[in-house]
Amino acid sequence: MKYEPDPEFQSPIVPGKEDPWTSWALENDNGFKIANETAKKHGLPKSVELYRDPGYLIYGLGVYHQLHCLNRLRKSFYPDIFYPNMSTEQIEIHKNHCFDAIRQAILCHGDISLIYWWDPNYTYIDDDGIERYTEDYLKKSPRERQVGLHASWSSEVQCRDMDAINIWVKERMVDPDKYGGREVD
Protein backbone atom coordinates (compact mmCIF):
# COMPACT_ATOMS: atom_id res chain seq x y z
CA MET A 1 0.00 0.00 0.00
CA LYS A 2 0.98 3.64 -0.21
CA TYR A 3 0.52 6.44 2.24
CA GLU A 4 -1.89 8.84 0.58
CA PRO A 5 -3.31 12.11 1.86
CA ASP A 6 -6.82 11.67 3.24
CA PRO A 7 -8.77 14.93 2.87
CA GLU A 8 -11.36 13.65 5.34
CA PHE A 9 -8.74 13.72 8.11
CA GLN A 10 -7.26 17.03 6.94
CA SER A 11 -10.54 18.94 6.94
CA PRO A 12 -11.22 21.78 9.35
CA ILE A 13 -13.57 21.30 12.28
CA VAL A 14 -17.17 22.09 11.32
CA PRO A 15 -19.57 22.08 14.29
CA GLY A 16 -22.48 19.74 13.64
CA LYS A 17 -20.68 17.88 10.83
CA GLU A 18 -19.76 14.22 11.38
CA ASP A 19 -16.17 14.04 12.56
CA PRO A 20 -14.22 11.18 10.92
CA TRP A 21 -12.05 10.97 14.04
CA THR A 22 -14.96 9.74 16.14
CA SER A 23 -15.03 6.17 14.87
CA TRP A 24 -15.41 3.47 17.53
CA ALA A 25 -11.67 2.85 17.40
CA LEU A 26 -10.99 6.35 18.76
CA GLU A 27 -13.85 6.93 21.16
CA ASN A 28 -12.70 4.88 24.14
CA ASP A 29 -9.80 2.88 25.43
CA ASN A 30 -10.89 -0.17 23.39
CA GLY A 31 -10.21 -2.29 26.42
CA PHE A 32 -10.59 -6.01 25.95
CA LYS A 33 -10.64 -8.85 28.42
CA ILE A 34 -8.27 -11.73 28.89
CA ALA A 35 -8.86 -14.52 31.38
CA ASN A 36 -6.54 -14.28 34.38
CA GLU A 37 -5.22 -17.81 33.70
CA THR A 38 -4.43 -16.93 30.08
CA ALA A 39 -2.61 -13.77 31.16
CA LYS A 40 -0.51 -15.77 33.65
CA LYS A 41 0.20 -18.50 31.08
CA HIS A 42 1.58 -15.92 28.62
CA GLY A 43 3.45 -13.89 31.22
CA LEU A 44 1.37 -10.75 30.71
CA PRO A 45 1.69 -8.03 33.31
CA LYS A 46 -1.08 -8.03 35.91
CA SER A 47 -3.87 -5.65 34.94
CA VAL A 48 -7.07 -4.51 36.62
CA GLU A 49 -9.66 -7.22 37.18
CA LEU A 50 -13.11 -6.52 35.79
CA TYR A 51 -15.20 -6.02 38.91
CA ARG A 52 -18.37 -7.14 37.10
CA ASP A 53 -16.61 -9.99 35.36
CA PRO A 54 -14.34 -11.65 37.96
CA GLY A 55 -11.51 -13.77 36.61
CA TYR A 56 -10.94 -11.45 33.65
CA LEU A 57 -8.39 -8.68 33.34
CA ILE A 58 -8.61 -5.56 31.17
CA TYR A 59 -5.94 -4.87 28.53
CA GLY A 60 -5.58 -2.59 25.54
CA LEU A 61 -3.34 -2.16 22.49
CA GLY A 62 -0.83 0.65 22.11
CA VAL A 63 -2.18 1.60 18.68
CA TYR A 64 -5.47 2.72 20.23
CA HIS A 65 -3.71 4.73 22.92
CA GLN A 66 -1.61 6.39 20.22
CA LEU A 67 -4.70 7.20 18.13
CA HIS A 68 -6.43 8.52 21.25
CA CYS A 69 -3.43 10.75 21.95
CA LEU A 70 -3.22 11.99 18.37
CA ASN A 71 -6.92 12.84 18.47
CA ARG A 72 -6.46 14.50 21.86
CA LEU A 73 -3.67 16.68 20.47
CA ARG A 74 -5.84 17.57 17.47
CA LYS A 75 -8.69 18.55 19.78
CA SER A 76 -6.35 20.67 21.89
CA PHE A 77 -6.12 23.10 18.96
CA TYR A 78 -9.86 23.73 19.43
CA PRO A 79 -10.32 23.86 23.23
CA ASP A 80 -13.46 26.03 23.02
CA ILE A 81 -15.19 23.34 20.96
CA PHE A 82 -13.90 20.16 22.61
CA TYR A 83 -12.94 21.18 26.15
CA PRO A 84 -15.09 24.17 27.12
CA ASN A 85 -15.24 23.08 30.78
CA MET A 86 -11.58 22.11 31.24
CA SER A 87 -8.87 24.33 32.60
CA THR A 88 -5.80 25.12 30.54
CA GLU A 89 -3.77 23.16 33.10
CA GLN A 90 -5.93 20.02 32.66
CA ILE A 91 -5.58 20.24 28.89
CA GLU A 92 -1.80 20.79 29.11
CA ILE A 93 -1.20 17.80 31.41
CA HIS A 94 -2.90 15.37 29.05
CA LYS A 95 -1.43 17.06 25.97
CA ASN A 96 2.13 16.72 27.30
CA HIS A 97 1.53 13.05 28.16
CA CYS A 98 0.29 12.49 24.60
CA PHE A 99 3.26 14.21 22.98
CA ASP A 100 5.56 11.88 24.90
CA ALA A 101 3.51 8.74 24.19
CA ILE A 102 3.45 9.43 20.44
CA ARG A 103 7.14 10.37 20.43
CA GLN A 104 8.03 7.05 22.06
CA ALA A 105 5.84 5.06 19.64
CA ILE A 106 7.40 6.78 16.62
CA LEU A 107 10.91 6.12 17.90
CA CYS A 108 10.06 2.52 18.76
CA HIS A 109 8.51 1.65 15.41
CA GLY A 110 10.88 3.76 13.29
CA ASP A 111 9.00 3.99 10.00
CA ILE A 112 11.71 3.69 7.35
CA SER A 113 9.51 4.33 4.31
CA LEU A 114 11.08 6.90 2.02
CA ILE A 115 9.71 10.38 1.65
CA TYR A 116 10.83 12.62 -1.15
CA TRP A 117 10.39 16.22 -2.16
CA TRP A 118 8.78 17.47 -5.32
CA ASP A 119 7.45 20.69 -6.74
CA PRO A 120 3.81 20.36 -7.80
CA ASN A 121 4.21 23.30 -10.19
CA TYR A 122 6.94 21.56 -12.18
CA THR A 123 6.10 17.89 -11.89
CA TYR A 124 3.83 15.76 -14.03
CA ILE A 125 3.02 12.09 -14.54
CA ASP A 126 3.93 10.80 -18.00
CA ASP A 127 2.02 8.23 -20.07
CA ASP A 128 3.89 5.41 -18.32
CA GLY A 129 2.82 6.66 -14.89
CA ILE A 130 6.29 7.99 -14.03
CA GLU A 131 6.69 11.31 -12.27
CA ARG A 132 8.75 13.69 -14.43
CA TYR A 133 10.04 17.25 -14.20
CA THR A 134 9.07 19.89 -16.75
CA GLU A 135 11.67 21.57 -18.95
CA ASP A 136 11.17 24.82 -17.00
CA TYR A 137 12.12 23.03 -13.80
CA LEU A 138 15.20 21.42 -15.31
CA LYS A 139 16.44 24.85 -16.45
CA LYS A 140 16.43 26.13 -12.85
CA SER A 141 19.57 26.21 -10.75
CA PRO A 142 19.78 23.74 -7.84
CA ARG A 143 19.17 26.65 -5.45
CA GLU A 144 16.05 27.77 -7.37
CA ARG A 145 14.72 24.21 -7.29
CA GLN A 146 14.58 24.35 -3.47
CA VAL A 147 11.78 26.94 -3.49
CA GLY A 148 8.20 25.65 -3.28
CA LEU A 149 9.00 22.03 -2.48
CA HIS A 150 6.53 19.71 -0.77
CA ALA A 151 7.26 16.46 1.04
CA SER A 152 5.55 13.45 -0.49
CA TRP A 153 4.82 10.42 1.66
CA SER A 154 3.37 8.45 -1.22
CA SER A 155 5.91 5.64 -0.83
CA GLU A 156 5.25 1.93 -0.72
CA VAL A 157 4.78 0.73 2.86
CA GLN A 158 3.97 -2.52 4.62
CA CYS A 159 1.24 -1.93 7.18
CA ARG A 160 -0.56 -4.05 9.72
CA ASP A 161 -4.14 -4.96 8.89
CA MET A 162 -6.06 -2.52 11.11
CA ASP A 163 -9.39 -4.00 10.02
CA ALA A 164 -8.31 -7.40 11.37
CA ILE A 165 -6.96 -5.81 14.56
CA ASN A 166 -10.22 -3.90 15.05
CA ILE A 167 -12.26 -7.08 14.58
CA TRP A 168 -10.09 -9.01 17.06
CA VAL A 169 -10.42 -6.29 19.70
CA LYS A 170 -14.12 -5.69 19.06
CA GLU A 171 -14.84 -9.40 19.63
CA ARG A 172 -13.18 -9.12 23.05
CA MET A 173 -14.12 -5.55 23.93
CA VAL A 174 -15.54 -4.87 27.35
CA ASP A 175 -18.23 -2.44 28.34
CA PRO A 176 -16.52 0.58 29.98
CA ASP A 177 -18.87 0.12 32.96
CA LYS A 178 -17.30 -3.29 33.61
CA TYR A 179 -13.86 -2.05 34.49
CA GLY A 180 -12.96 -0.02 37.51
CA GLY A 181 -11.26 2.76 35.63
CA ARG A 182 -12.79 5.79 34.04
CA GLU A 183 -13.56 6.68 30.48
CA VAL A 184 -10.90 9.01 29.18
CA ASP A 185 -11.70 11.80 26.76
Q: How many residues does this entry show for the chain?
A: 185
Question: Which residues form the domain of 121?
Answer: 116-152
Verify that 77 and 168 share a domain, yes or no: yes
Quote the CA–CA distance of 31 and 41 in Å, as a whole number: 20
Angle at 69 between CA 78 and CA 105, to 5 degrees: 140
Do residues 64 and 129 share a domain? no
Can you give the pLDDT of all 185 residues of the chain as single tens digits?
788 878 888 888 877 777 787 775 555 567 888 999 999 999 999 998 888 888 989 899 999 899 889 989 999 999 998 999 999 999 999 999 999 999 999 999 998 888 887 777 777 788 988 888 888 888 888 888 888 777 777 778 888 898 898 888 888 888 776 665 433 33
Q: How many independent structural domains does the chain possess?
A: 2
Q: Is 65 exposed, middle or buried (0-12, 13-18, 19+ CB in 10 A)?
A: middle
The model's pTM is: 0.75
